[in-house]
Amino acid sequence: MRAIDIAEYLDHLLKVAAVPDYPGAHNGLQVESAAKVNKVAFAVDATQASIDEAIAQGANLLVVHHGLFWDGAVAVTGRRYKRLRSLILADVALYSAHLPLDVHPELGNNAILARELGIEIQGSFGEYKGLPVGVWGKLELRREALAARLDELLGGRVRMIPGGPDRIRTAGVITGGAGSQVQAAQAVGLDAFITGEGAHNNFFDATEGGVNLYFGGHYATETWGLRALAEKLATDLELETFFIDQPTGL
């Protein structure tokens, strides 16, 4: 199977054409290859380290959440040159899926993390260009217990801003850097909002808005969809897959 065939499968599965995204995302096949794909690597970021590891383990395709072109159409020099050179010389393709992977109802980062937390998903909240990006639902838990559950799931100390009630009954999830969506969580009446990271002012958005806010780390909240997608490809396309874990602590 060729990389371009797998890219078509992923485009359809993740509904890439229907999902608006940030200009630098460039969802889909970012680097093509002529090699037959037998092994697929998955990583959160298209870093030099991820590319090197994919090549070292014999992957013919690397699937990432954050692709190569977030800084726009710039000269192929420095780090960009090195990354592209490594991929092309090894004949390794690269595919990227950002918001299409975040928002997917089954394989998405948001839905999977919510289910892992025990949230009974009821609906969506928060928007990007008219696209609902978060999920929310019922969760009966004290706010400190939710922090402890997140610590265990995400493998690190989660930052809790106790702006809402001690007893949580509704909680929402938008993974990654979605601290700006605190007010969207407040607007739908959520007791708790879980994301990866935010800004200084999000502390006051939470405490003055009556929302318990949890920062679990951008990286740690965005591994879920890739791991699920790796399992999906292994089952559906009978390909060998593996995940490259390179946590940033951020």
Q: Return d(Cα 27, Cα 98) in angstroms, integer.
A: 7
pTM > 0.85: yes or no: yes
193 plus 159 within the same structural domain: yes
Which tokens sit at 118?
């025990």
Answer whether residue 68 is part of any domain. yes
Answer whether residue 237 is part of any domain. no
127 plus 200 within the same structural domain: yes
97 Cα distance to chain centroid:
9
83 plus 122 within the same structural domain: no
Helix (H) or strand (E) holding 125: strand 120-128
27 plus 128 within the same structural domain: no
Domain with residue 136: its CATH number is 3.40.1390.30
Give the total residue count for the chain: 250
13 plus 59 within the same structural domain: yes
What are the tens digits of pLDDT across the range 1-45? 999 999 999 999 999 999 999 999 999 999 999 999 999 999 999
Given a cut of 80, whether residue 73 has pLDDT beyond it is no
What are the tens digits of pLDDT across the range 128-153? 999 999 999 999 999 999 999 999 99
Q: Return d(Cα 144, Cα 159) in angstroms, integer.
A: 11
What are the tens digits of pLDDT across the range 153-212? 999 999 999 999 999 999 999 999 999 999 999 999 999 999 999 999 999 999 999 999
147 plus 208 within the same structural domain: yes
**Partners of residue 168 on adjacent β-strands:** 141
Answer whether residue 44 is part of any domain. yes
How large a percentage of the chain has pLDDT more than 70?
Answer: 100
In degrees, rounded to 5, the angle at the alpha carbon of residue 235 between the alpha carbons of residues 248 and 39 is 60
Of 97, 113, 136, which closes a domain?
97
Domain count, the chain: 2
Domain limits for position 215: 104-221
- Is 72 in a helix, a strand, or coil? coil
